[in-house]
Amino acid sequence: MFDRLQAVEDRYEKLNELLSDPDIVNDPAKLRDYSKEQSDIQETVEVYRQYKEAKEQYADAKMMLEDKLDADMREMVKEEMSELEETLSDLEARMKVLLIPKDPNDDKNVIMEIRGAAGGDEAALFAGDLYRMYSRYAETNGWKIDVIEASTTGVGGYKEIIFMINGRGAYSKLKYENGAHRVQRVPETESGGRIHTSTATVAVMPETEEVEVEVHDKDIRVDTFASSGPGGQSVNTTMSAVRLTHLPTGIVVSCQDEKSQIKNKEKAMKVLRARIYDKFQKEAQAEYDAVRKSAVGTGDRSERIRTYNFPQNRVTDHRIGLTIQKLDQILEGKVSEVIDALIVEDQSSRLENLED
């Protein structure tokens, strides 16, 4: 581990030199890439340096014990060594986590798709609850929401809603939300007070740049149509809505949120690139999982990952066996406790794989 840490520190110093090189400074692409690389490893280097400094302090204190000291001084030195041992242990644990290979998508914005699944109107209402939960969670993190496409129902809620969450690190936290979410509650329309079970699916994809996913114009069919509102009535007489079909994969994306056809096409292209990237990622992940299954992954969309039980005010994440009696708070956007637990579990699992 320490050889790897030293190599990271050496690379950090080399990047310092490169970022001072006039040729690099005048090359925007290299300057961006080297700056990002340095930023990505900066915390690892800082923690490693803190560890080395604490290690030196511990060695110095140990040498002092070999000298002739009075009882009070000897006790002080032993107390300092005890504190340093605790510090070293904490720093070593942090360094192990920091050495886990970072997901290259973690800092990216997120494109999220929520769809009502089994349960009809109740599933659509639950999809709306999930959208509000993620919207409020985004607000607490200082992230911005941008709706791309929404299909509402007559009773409220969404058959489908697609939106972007703009904010650094959004994907690193929300990627664990990918999967089927189940709700158990008594619908307002249920006169007998019976508990119904409904589901909504959540898809979480990182926003991708053009350089990451090569999409050729010849592979895309573009259709335009007049945008429509609830019930199918026309709300825009101009052909501003856009539908993109990626012919090689069959992926279809529509957008009618904006009044401008150009803006709708731009938004639709973002979703299209994300879905194509997601498709390739899922295929690669399937190959990896055939060899080693992670305890917590980004999840298959059909996998039931969480249950929201209203009568008992309970939320259970089935992947890690976590149950929390705070459903009301979680639906208000206070979902950090669940997400943080998933991150810790994922890090632990990946650390074990790293040490194998």
Taking the CA atoms of residue 276, residue 278, residue 281 and residue 285 in that order, the dihedral angle to the nearest 10 degrees is -140
Residue 292 pLDDT exceeds 50: no
List, for residues 235-245, the tens digit of each pLDDT value.
455 678 888 89
List, for residues 93-149, the tens digit of each pLDDT value.
888 888 877 777 888 899 999 999 887 888 999 999 999 999 999 999 999 998 888
* Range among 121-135, 215-229, 284-298, 340-354 with highest mean pLDDT value: 121-135
Residue 197 pLDDT exceeds 80: yes
Determine the length of the chain.
Answer: 356
CB 309 within 8 A of CB 298: no
pLDDT of residue 348: 82
Q: Can you tell me the distance from the alpha carbon of 66 to that of 64, in angstroms, rounded to the nearest whole number?
A: 5
- Three-state SS string over 215-281 comes to CCHHHEEEEEECCECHHHCECCCCCCEEEEEECCCCEEEEECCCCCHHHHHHHHHHHHHHHHHHHHH
pLDDT band at 151 (very low <50, low <70, confident <90, very high): confident
Residue 233 pLDDT exceeds 50: no
CB 9 within 8 A of CB 45: yes
pLDDT of residue 237: 55
Q: Which two tokens stand for residue 319?
A: 């992947």
Which domains are delineated in the chain? 2-98 (1.20.58), 110-351 (3.30.70.1660)
Amino acid, single-letter form, for residue 131: Y
Q: Which two tokens stand for residue 294?
A: 């992670």
The pLDDT of 31-45, averaged and rounded, is 88
Q: Is 208 helix (H, G, I), strand (E, B) or coil?
A: coil
Q: Can you tell me the distance from the alpha carbon of 82 to that of 338, in angstroms, rounded to the nearest whole number?
A: 34
The pLDDT of 2-16, averaged and rounded, is 89
**Which residue bears the tokens 């997901």?**
103
Phi/psi for 186 (5° steps) reads -90, 115
The pLDDT of 151-178, averaged and rounded, is 89
Please provide the average confidence, as pLDDT, over all residues in the chain: 84
The pLDDT of 276-280, averaged and rounded, is 83
149 vs 18, higher pLDDT: 18
